[in-house]
């Protein structure tokens, strides 16, 4: 059972370009969460999605950032017109449909975005 798959692992973008980060959840998981980790800091929640639905986007910056989780295919975190301050590690996690006793979210390897 493959874990949460993120790609690319490393992404370099020039200021003003777009960054697209992909996340394929674990098999059987239909909930996806995106987190951002700035250097030397903890993870900060960005957005929580289910298939074709954004459940909670309270952690997303108001501009330039968007996320989707289509019926088919991976979840995508999209950052338009990147700036240096977007440089961070972006982690995706997935969990089962229902929050059950032993359900937990499992994390992918992360995408490290560098804006030059």
C-beta neighbour count of 21 within 10 angstroms: 23
Position 75 contacts other proteins (CB under 8 A): no
Question: Binding mask 4-43 vs other proteins (x if CB under 8 A, - otherwise)?
Answer: ---------------------------x-x-x-----xxx
Q: Which of 15, 16, 106, 116 is the binder for other proteins (CB under 8 A)?
A: 106
Asked whether the beta carbons of 59 and 45 are under 8 A apart, the reply is yes
98-to-28, 29, 81, 94 alpha-carbon distances in Å = 11, 9, 36, 12
Minimum CB distance to other proteins, residue 57 (Å): 11
Signed CA dihedral, 28, 90, 15, 68: sign only: positive
**CB-nearer residue toward other proteins: 5 or 17:** 5
Position 52 contacts other proteins (CB under 8 A): no
Q: How many residues bind other proteins (CB under 8 A)?
A: 26
List the one residue out of 1, 2, 11 whose CA is nearest residue 77: 11
Q: Which of 11, 77, 79, 105 is the binder for other proteins (CB under 8 A)?
A: 105
List the one residue out of 3, 71, 75, 72 whose CA is nearest residue 35: 75
Binding site residues, other proteins, CB under 8 A: 31, 33, 35, 41-45, 48, 55-56, 91, 93, 95, 99, 101-110, 112
């Amino acid at each position: 059972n493959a874990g949460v798959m993120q790609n690319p692992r490393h992404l370099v973008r020039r200021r003003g370009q777009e960054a697209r980060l992909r996340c394929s959840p674990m098999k059987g998981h239909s909930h996806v969460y995106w987190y951002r980790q700035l250097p030397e800091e903890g993870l900060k929640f960005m957005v929580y999605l289910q298939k074709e639905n954004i459940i909670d986007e309270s952690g997303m910056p108001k501009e330039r950032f968007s996320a989707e989780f289509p019926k088919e295919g991976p979840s995508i975190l999209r950052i338009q017109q990147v700036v240096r301050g977007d440089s961070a590690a972006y982690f995706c996690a997935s969990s089962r449909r229902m929050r059950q006793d032993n359900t937990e979210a499992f994390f992918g390897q992360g995408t490290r975005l560098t804006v030059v």
